[in-house]
Amino acid sequence: MSTAHGSKGVLGDVGIHILDFATFVAGLDVVAVSCLLQTFDKAPGGKIGEYVLDANDSATMQVRLSNSALGTVAATRFASGHLNDLQIRLYGLTGGVEVTYENAVSKLRVCLGEDIHTGTWVEVDCPPVPMVFHRFIAAIRGEGAPDPDFARGAALQQLLDRAETSAAQGGLLLKV
């Protein structure tokens, strides 16, 4: 929570994973971003010992995807009643998809085809997915492809850098 000690705040700690997952699910890249960041007072004097607690605690972003679709992304350390929960919702002309992770339970729901006219959501059974660190170790051992790869990580870091620059400029929309 201290920028002097390398923290990029919730934007870097959590935001990168949300952006990675959302763009993976959408199958599209972000081409522009607008971002606002907020840091909250967490301790008397804004410090714990020598650590100044100045890294952002909440981030909101508006993104434009490569097909011109718009999205909103929010990440915060202060979502009362939620501990490490995640919600991703994507909507398009032919349906919607919703991924949730709440209380350590993952769910996938879709509203597709004729269901879009009635707003009917159907839960989809999904097999367990290996944790990313298991896939990483397997790739090092030559037991699987490195996915995501370095290029994906670099592209996401560029997106975070542009989001941080946008926030420093008052939330200005910037091309990625």
Number of domains in the chain: 1
CATH number at residue 132: 3.30.360.10
Question: Residue written as tokens 């991924």?
Answer: 99
Rounded to an integer, what distance in angstroms lies between the CA atom of residue 35 and that of residue 62? 7
123 pLDDT band (50/70/90 cuts)?
Answer: very high
pTM over the 0.75 mark: yes
- How confident is the model at residue 81, as a pLDDT? 84
Rounded to an integer, what distance in angstroms lies between the CA atom of residue 121 and that of residue 107? 12
The average pLDDT across 13-17 equals: 89
Rounded to an integer, what distance in angstroms lies between the CA atom of residue 48 and that of residue 28? 41
User: CB atoms < 10 A from the CB of 143, how many?
Assistant: 9
- How confident is the model at residue 82, as a pLDDT? 84
Instruction: Print the domain residue range for 141.
Output: 3-175
pLDDT, one tens digit per residue, over 125-163 is 988 778 778 888 888 899 988 877 889 989 999 999 999
